[in-house]
Structure formats: C-alpha cells, structure tokens
Structure 1
C-alpha cells in the first residue's frame, strides 16, 4: 500500500504544523527485531529479511498528551543476496495507533560504520516519520528521523544451523533498543520527504 493510501486510511488528517517548541524529543523504542539468512540449499526459500517493530508513533508527544500518542509500526525489508538493499527506502505499516494525529513511516537499511558490516548481523536502520498535510506539490514538510544500530554480540543474538540458515533477534537485556529522534526540515511532498528527498542534511 502506498504512503498516501496509508495517510488517508488512518483517519482524519490534521494540519501538519504544530506551533509549539518541541524541546527534547523522547526516543523511539525498537521492541522486536528478527533477521533471517537462508541456507542457500536448492528448493529452500532464497529470501533474506529483516523484520522490526518500533513503537511510540508520535514524535511530538513530549508537547502533547503522552497518554494518547503511542503506537506500533512494523517494517519489513526483504531481498535476494547479493543484492542487499542498502540505502533503499521501504514503506512501513502502522499496525496500532492511539494518537489523534495520523502518521506515515519509512525505514532504510544502512551499512554499519565499522569495518565488518553484514546485512543481518551488523547494520543500521534509519526511520523517517511524517504527519499528514494537505495534498500539494510544494510545501514545507517537517519529518522526524532516527538511526538505530544493531550488531551481534552487542544487542543481537542468534544461531546458525548446520544447514546454513541463520536467525538473529534482539537480546532480552537490550530490549527495547532506544533510537534518538531528530526533527528535519524538508520541502516538496510528504512522500518525497519520507524517502529522504529535498531534506536538510540528516544525522548519520
């Protein structure tokens, strides 16, 4: 489903700008994450994936009523190796929301900053979130963005079977993983902003 369809399906759109000083934004919480590396054996499922849930849907909840501004977003990145979709933006699905403001989200797989990135055991994820705004071709857009870092032996744990498949997820003691949130100014449409287009430089 396209982002615009998400926006209209989630309820009544509210004006995009919130005329308040946001102050310090509370972090988002990654509550579940699973990665899969297939065995590569003939007739087996060849797809690699990352599934992740992130909560606290409304980044402006620090200036709104926090009791009505939580939700869950589900993101799914799937690929065929070796075509790892680094720096490709994927739309996320909002699966639960109690915020009165409607939102749309994307996620982007990034290479880890160290010397040994691997797409299922050492990687970063960048999320972008935006509220709705009326349809237009040129508007100022404010999005919220944050990058989470995930690595085996730090906040991931898992196992690789003799057949070749590997399954990793969040360590219990590392759950939730907190993601710092930054406000970014963009221009154009919400869809473009959520894909990282026409935006001020984002923190890496």
Structure 2
C-alpha cells in the first residue's frame, strides 16, 4: 500500500508542549478509521480440541498468523536525519492454549474468551528494530447456532502498536481490527473417532478491516506538520 502525503497529513497531529523544567506528558487522540489502509490479512488459522480421553492432554489450541501489508508514514512529521520515516509491513504468529475441561468459575484464567494474548512478531520489511507489538483477543459469537466456541465459532480482535524514535521524541500509533470465524463459513472441520477435532482456514486469506484508535507522543517534543 502506498501512502500519499495527503494521508500522512490526515493522521492525527498532536503538539506536545515543551518545557525545560517539566517532563513532557503523553498526548493522544482517537481519530476516525482511515479508509485508505489495505486490510490486515489472516493467512493461517487452525484450532485443536482434544478428545478428553485418559492419557491425552486437556488443552485446546488456537493458532493464527496475521499480517499488516501497509507501509505507514510516521505521524508528527516523523523524520530521521532529515528524511521521512515509516512503519513497515509486519506479521505475527499468535498461539492460545487453554484447558477446556475445568470450571472457569474456579479457574478463570482458563477462559479463552476476553483474554489478551501477546503474539510473536515475525520478520518485517526492514530490520526487526522497527518491529511493533501484536495482540489477539478471542470474542464470543454464534454464527453456527450452536453457541460460542473458541475453536469453532468466534471472533478475533487484533491490536497492533508500533512506536518509532524521531528527531525529538517517540511516536506511537495503535490500530485495532476484528474478524469473524465460524465452521461452515470460512472454517473447515474434521473430527476423528477418538473425539479429537481440528479446524482450519478454508480460504487463502481472510481480510480484517482495521482502524486507527490512537496516535501518541510518548516522549519528548513531537512536531506537527509544518513546524
């Protein structure tokens, strides 16, 4: 995705006041979604539900790969050595594992829904020093009519935070997007005679529409366009 100067100018511009005697406080805003972004891409998604039989682990597993294909100019007129800088395309792998055979009232940490899980960032278009931080959260839905299931019928909300050091500070942006996944739709299902069930993505790519939810000057003096 190629971003124009107009797009860079459309990102929220926040001016952090500078004081020689007082530390700079973070500033942020919540801008509207940016329609010029290419959607995120889910390229792999698999789940596993165990049989529950003696001699087998009780853990269910969800694995997903997510990619941001965009090159995004750093806001606040971000530059390095006088040249504009950008956040590069970035991918991540996310793995959730939980014990579905215990009571979540007794062991709430085993509830797969609503849990924010950190993902492992993969190679970026440039070196990993520019890599951001991905998270994923499983949500409930009932597309199949059989009730929410974290292995068969669920939503995934992805979060991407990227930060960059600029000439006089540190700039951060955060995007979020949610995708819907269900057996009978974009997921396939196969169960063995033992009761073990595996689910996979039956589409090459599932697109996730993301939106910009915050732009923050984390430290220093972040300049607006034209300053």
Question: Do residues 161 (structure 1) and 192 (structure 2) align?
Answer: yes
Measured on the aligned residues, the alpha-carbon RMSD in Å equals 3.1
Runs of at least 5 residues in structure 2 that lack an aligned partner in the other structure: 1-6, 12-33, 76-83, 102-109, 219-227
Task: Work out whether residues 136 and 157 of structure 2, in 8 Å CA contact, stay in contact via their aligned partners in 1.
Answer: yes
Give, in angstroms, the shift of residue 158 of structure 1.
Answer: 1.9
Give, in angstroms, the shift of residue 187 of structure 1.
Answer: 7.1
Question: Do residues 132 (structure 1) and 163 (structure 2) align?
Answer: yes
Give, in angstroms, the shift of residue 117 of structure 1.
Answer: 1.3
| 2:122 corresponds to which of 83, 95, 111 | 95
Segments ≥4 residues shifted beyond 3 Å? 63-66, 139-142, 186-189
Question: Do residues 177 (structure 1) and 206 (structure 2) align?
Answer: yes
1:202 corresponds in structure 2 to none
Q: Within 5 Å, give how 1:1-204 maps onto structure 2.
A: 20-22=9-11, 23=34, 24-56=36-68, 58=70, 60=72, 69-82=88-101, 83-99=110-126, 101-112=130-141, 114=143, 116-132=147-163, 142-171=173-202, 174-185=203-214
Structure with more helix by fraction: 1
Larger CA deviation: 40-49 vs 79-88 = 79-88
TM-score by length of 2: 0.63
Cα displacement string for residues 139-191 of structure 1 (whole angstroms, at most 9, x for unaligned residues) = 995310000110001000020111011000000xx2200000101127798xx
Runs of at least 5 residues in structure 1 that lack an aligned partner in the other structure: 1-17, 190-204
- SS at the partner of 2:175? strand
- SS at the partner of 1:20? helix
If you compute each CA radius of gyration, which structure gives the higher value, 1 or 2?
2
TM-score by length of 1: 0.69
